[in-house]
Amino acid sequence: MPSSYVIGEHFEAFIKHQIQQGRYASASEVVRDGLRALEEREQLRSLKLQALRTEIQRGADSGAGIPAKQAFADARKRIAVASSAQSRPK
């Protein structure tokens, strides 16, 4: 069942350019390839999001953490040590 969509001058020109360059035989091929790329990107995004949720849950299940103030203090200390090590003459 064919559909019609308004995509604007920019994308019309892009599609025509792709056809003129010989990359695609028709506007439909360009649009289908673009939709496949979008679908793939969305699937990858979904997988990454699920992996992130799994890691968050794993962290939450691992037990008590440390207070944020302590975490930031530790991070500042590590940064200071790394900075002073880099600034020392070799």
Under 8 Å between Cβ of 86 and 79:
no
Q: What does the pLDDT read at residue 80? A: 94
Under 8 Å between Cβ of 33 and 24:
yes
Whose tokens are 């035989």? That residue is 25
Distance CA 62, CA 70 (A): 18
Q: What does the pLDDT read at residue 84? A: 86
Q: What does the pLDDT read at residue 2? A: 81
- Tell me the average confidence (pLDDT) per consecutive run of 10 residues in the chain, 90 residues long: 91 98 98 98 98 94 89 96 79
Q: What does the pLDDT read at residue 63? A: 84
**pTM score > 0.85 for this model?**
no
